[in-house]
Amino acid sequence: MDWAVFVVAGIATLVGALGVVTCRNPVHSALMLVMTLFGIAVLFVEQDAHFLAAVQVIVYAGAVVVLFLFVIMLLGVETNEDLHKDPLRGQRPAAIALGLLMLLEVLLLVRSNWVTGAPSTAGAARSADQTNVEVLSRSLFTRYLLPFEATSVLLLIAVVGAVVLARRPTRAELADINEDDPDLVTAE
């Protein structure tokens, strides 16, 4: 049963990922990204990471993809991207050769070290009397409290940065920039 769930979710993940990078229409790419994220959420559930599966769906599929779609709609859908033209000459054969080499190395590694086994039932992640959320929060708010607080500062900085970047400059500031360097705002 585990194996079947893994295969189905893994195929959904990979097909979605391939769709993200190959779809010509950015809106289709965003919807394929949702498929990938749901596949990953299923993989999380299978490994007893129930809280993270919920976070994955809410934060990624809910917030991040909506933000992507919002920006795509705002910028207008461009479908004229040509995926068959290389920016560098000979890039594609070199990439295929190196990719095959890496695949070979990975397969060699897998053949020599095949690590499987039952997850430790005595471990904290799936103990019977504690739920996943309880275990996770216990280590998040004790041992990893400092990184947790640092994350909140990071989010604050990101919010301030996004607001400052997306804000339209005022008329006075524009005049200032024009005075300093007329080349910078020629596209306005």
Q: At what angle do helices 26-46 and 2-22 cross, to 10 degrees?
A: 160
Q: Whole-number minimum distance, CB 182 to another protein, in Å?
A: 14
Q: Whole-number minimum distance, CB 13 to another protein, in Å?
A: 6
Residue 14 or 175 having the CB closest to another protein: 14
Query: Of residues 10-69, which lie at the interface with another protein (CB under 8 A)?
Result: 10, 13-14, 17-18, 20-21, 26, 29-30, 33, 36-37, 40, 43-44, 47-49, 51-52, 55-56, 59-60, 63-64, 67-68
Query: Of residues 92-121, which lie at the interface with another protein (CB under 8 A)?
Result: 95, 99, 102, 106, 110, 113-121
Residue 22 or 175 having the CB closest to another protein: 22
Residue 149 or 175 having the CB closest to another protein: 149
Cβ count within 10 A of residue 188: 8
End-to-end CA distance of the chain: 59
Q: Please return the burial class of 40, using the count of CB atoms within 10 Å of its CB with bins 0-12, 13-18 and 19+.
A: buried
Q: Show the binding pattern over residues 129-158: x = contacts another protein (CB under 8 A), - = does not.
A: ---x--xx-xxx---x--xx--x--xx-xx
Say how far apart CA 159 and CA 60 lie, in whole Å. 17
Q: Whole-number minimum distance, CB 159 to another protein, in Å?
A: 7
Q: Whole-number minimum distance, CB 51 to another protein, in Å?
A: 7
Q: Show the binding pattern over residues 157-176: x = contacts another protein (CB under 8 A), - = does not.
A: xxx-xxx-xx----------
- Read off the DSSP letter of residue 187: T
Say how far apart CA 43 and CA 53 lie, in whole Å. 8
1 contacts another protein (rule: CB under 8 A): no
| Of 98, 102, 82, 81, nearest in space to 90 by CA | 98
Say how far apart CA 128 and CA 103 lie, in whole Å. 40
